Chain A
Amino acid sequence: MNLRLKLMAAAAALAMAAAGAPARAETVRIAVVLGTTGAYAFVGVPLWNGLRMAHDELVAAGGYGPHAIEMTFEDNRSERAEALSLVTRFARNPDVHMIVGPIATSEALATGPVANENGVVMFTTATSPAVLEIGPWLFKSTETADAYLAPVARHITGVLKPASCYIVGIRDNEGYVRQAQVFKGLLEAGGVAISGEESILSTDSDFTALSTKIVSANPPCLFVTAPSETAANVIIQARQAGLAPDTILVGDSGAGSQSFINAGGRAVEGTLFPASFVADASPEARAFADAYAARFGGPPDLWAATGHSMMRVIAHALASIPEGQVTRAAIRDAMAATRDVPVVLGSGRMSFDENRVPHVGGIVMQIRDGGWAMP
């Protein structure tokens, strides 16, 4: 083969490669970083179940439009340092188009700047609005504490009307600190006094002294905002220390998880919590709950519904991007344009406002007979 033929063959090979490039680019790679073990496993496990379930449904229904989706999952073990390491790895990999996760505000605040600097969408379940202030590449699926705690605070101040409430929160996670502050403000605005306010660490397990303080204050209402198993543990130890049986127990959205019920057992019966998912709220939510139970052997909780809804939002955004034009920036713009996407959460529609704050609508739920019910 002479030189000209060699050059022609090389040019043809390059042309074929170039022609093939768009086809490869159409595979959208989503990296999922969640804690499915450790402190936030109560969120991570059902969330990942919900994501996978929605993904399978969307693939079957052609919900991603012309795009093929490839999901890569990594467990950060609920460790902030591992989340940072994983998000950095994925953010710096140009083949990864977007990142789903991590779970906690503390994790999202640590990893968000990396995603933002590398120009990749990070779609997290973090509760604090501070996450969105990191930059335009950050999106979250949970409403702000002011929005989702308002219904349960209204229920307490307007219906149950206790004279006072005792607040226990986590101090090593900004999301929980904010939830405690917001709930305190909502109660005070509604005329309920705060009889005590204590903070714990998410790794604490000895609440003996704290329980004595709570019981000594004899509060008619106790609000605990902490990872679900820690929150259940605080309530159990308060019960063991003699907390009055008729005390109004209030939790955050984590109280809507199966692990809270499993950990707390009878001690957490009657706990009120803000919820964005009710299986009987709509035919779509009921269908999701039935399919989830059939696949995973148990009813879905808020986090399973959140995972399912997040995947729907992602699919809606991707489907709006024409074939061959999927880039990180295109995904960010499509995500920011999310309006009235059908989901199984809240009112059945999720929208992001101009500040990327999600809106789904929430309600008050209660733990009753080891399950969830309207109060």
Chain B
Amino acid sequence: MIAQQLLNGIVVGGVYALFALGFNLVFGIQRILNLAHGAVFMAGAFTAWYTVVNGGPLWLGFLLAMALSGCLSVLIELVCFRRLRRTGDEEFGAIISSIGASLVIMTIAQRISGTRIVRFPFDTFPIQIYQVAGLRISLLQLFMAAAAFALVVVMAWFVYRTPWGRRIRAVTENARAAMLTGVNPNAVYRQTYFMAGALAGAAGVLVGLAFNSIHYMMGEPYLLFGFVIIILGGLGSIPGALLAALLFGMMQTLTIAFLPTGLTNAVIFLGLFLILLLRPHGLLGREEAGQLRGRR
């Protein structure tokens, strides 16, 4: 059963990675924690759900969720962070501002959904179980793993292999220097927030499909997970976040499977604490990355 649970952990970790990568991308480029990221994730799940229950196909719901979540994320950047950025002291202000944005989005979702927990219809995704080398893997798990992998690869390609990605990395290193070379930091921020939001929206749909529970507060625990993952992986490190997400997913699944259920979170967070004792800057983090004011 260990191999089966590891497989479960990798699939769940892949979804965590989608969420955490967007969270980390924003932190990496602006050194701010966007605490409305969980609300964006929730909005994505609701968008796909509304599409499906109104007769639309799941693929359309998935795309709409990514598009809407991306736009919502850009809106948060424009409304909550841009003005603060001009003051040059946005780190703590952004935390408060994003909490406010999160509350507004969640309240709207609560009103619209009537505080109900909704779910995709049972047959939205076909239940097909495959036996591979003694392991059971469902079609939904394959889809989740494939979608997470494809989106992470696309994001990595975008960041590391395209002119847009070069601009993002240039702004990450030094926004003023990038501006002197003709890069418009605001445009880069918009692209980054859209990408982060789209990834969160995709993660929301996958979580809604896998765990059958879409509600206005569903983003809150993922925000905590995302925070843990980016700390564990190393603040601002995309490969670190990916590694940490997979590790976190596996640790979570294995502790649920083999330990008394009440101890799960205590054991997970004890493990994370021990890892951080040995590597204070995270698995793949750099010393300066953890310093919020370190790069300007």
A residues with a Cβ closer than 8 A to B are: 37-39, 41, 77, 171, 198-200, 205-210, 212-213, 215-216, 229, 232-233, 236-237, 239-242, 263-267
Contacts and interface: CB of A to CB of B under 8 A. Distances in A.
18 contacts: A199-B262, A200-B261, A206-B210, A206-B211, A208-B8, A208-B211, A209-B5, A209-B8, A209-B257, A212-B1, A215-B136, A229-B117, A233-B211, A236-B119, A242-B138, A263-B119, A263-B212, A267-B122
Nearest to A172: B262
Contacts of B138: 240-242
Nearest to A267: B122
Contact of A213 (B115, B140, B257): B257
B11 interface: yes
B212 A236 contact: yes
Contacts of A171: 261-262
Interface string B226-260: 00000000000000000000000000111011000
Given A229-B117, A240-B127, A242-B129, A212 B211 contact: no
Given A233-B211, A266-B123, A212 B261 contact: no
Given A208-B8, A215-B136, A198 B261 contact: yes
A38 B216 CA distance: 10
Given A212-B5, A233-B119, A37 B114 contact: yes
B262 A237 contact: no
Contacts of A41: 115-116
Given A264-B122, A265-B123, A266-B122, A216 B1 contact: yes
A208 B210 contact: yes
Given A233-B212, A237-B212, A242-B138, A77 B115 contact: yes
Given A205-B211, A229-B119, 14 more contacts: A37-B114, A37-B116, A77-B115, A208-B211, A209-B8, A209-B257, A212-B1, A212-B5, A212-B8, A215-B136, A236-B119, A236-B122, A240-B138, A266-B123
Nearest to B15: A206
Interface string B117-150: 1010111000101000000101010000000000
Contacts of B254: 209
Contacts of B114: 37
A212 B11 CA distance: 13
Nearest to B208: A205
Interface in B86-124: 114-117, 119, 121-123
Contacts of B8: 208-209, 212
B162 interface: no
A213 B253 CA distance: 11
B33 interface: no
A80 to B, nearest CB: 16
A77 B256 CA distance: 29
Contacts of B35: none
A138 B96 CA distance: 44
A242 B123 CA distance: 15
Chain B residues touching A, range: 20 to 34
A96 B4 CA distance: 57
A196 B29 CA distance: 48
B168 interface: no
Contacts of A264: 122
B12 interface: yes
Contacts of A38: 115
A250 to B, nearest CB: 19
A240 B8 CA distance: 12
Contacts of A208: 8, 11-12, 210-211, 253
A236 B138 CA distance: 13
Contacts of A206: 12, 210-211
Interface centre among A232, A240, A241 (most CB of B within 10 A): A240
Interface centre among A200, A209, A213, A237 (most CB of B within 10 A): A209
B13 to A, nearest CB: 11
Contact of B256 (A37, A209, A263): A209
Contacts of B211: 205-208, 233, 237
A242 B141 CA distance: 12
Nearest to A262: B119
B136 to A, nearest CB: 5
A232 B119 CA distance: 11
A212 B257 contact: yes
A242 B137 CA distance: 9
Nearest to B220: A203
A209 B255 CA distance: 9
A77 B237 CA distance: 40
Nearest to B138: A240
B4 A212 contact: yes
A267 B253 CA distance: 23
Nearest to B117: A229
Contacts of A37: 114-116
B40 interface: no
A38 B116 CA distance: 6
B191 interface: no
Nearest to B209: A240
Contacts of B119: 229, 233, 236, 263
A266 B114 CA distance: 25
A316 B7 CA distance: 59
A240 B140 contact: yes
Contacts of B212: 205, 232-233, 236-237, 263
A236 B115 CA distance: 21
Interface centre among A38, A200, A242 (most CB of B within 10 A): A242
B251 to A, nearest CB: 11
B247 to A, nearest CB: 15
Interface string B211-229: 1110000100000000000
A37 B121 CA distance: 21
Contacts of B9: 209
A216 B121 contact: no
B23 to A, nearest CB: 19
Contacts of B115: 37-38, 41, 77
Interface centre among B114, B121, B211 (most CB of A within 10 A): B211
B221 to A, nearest CB: 8
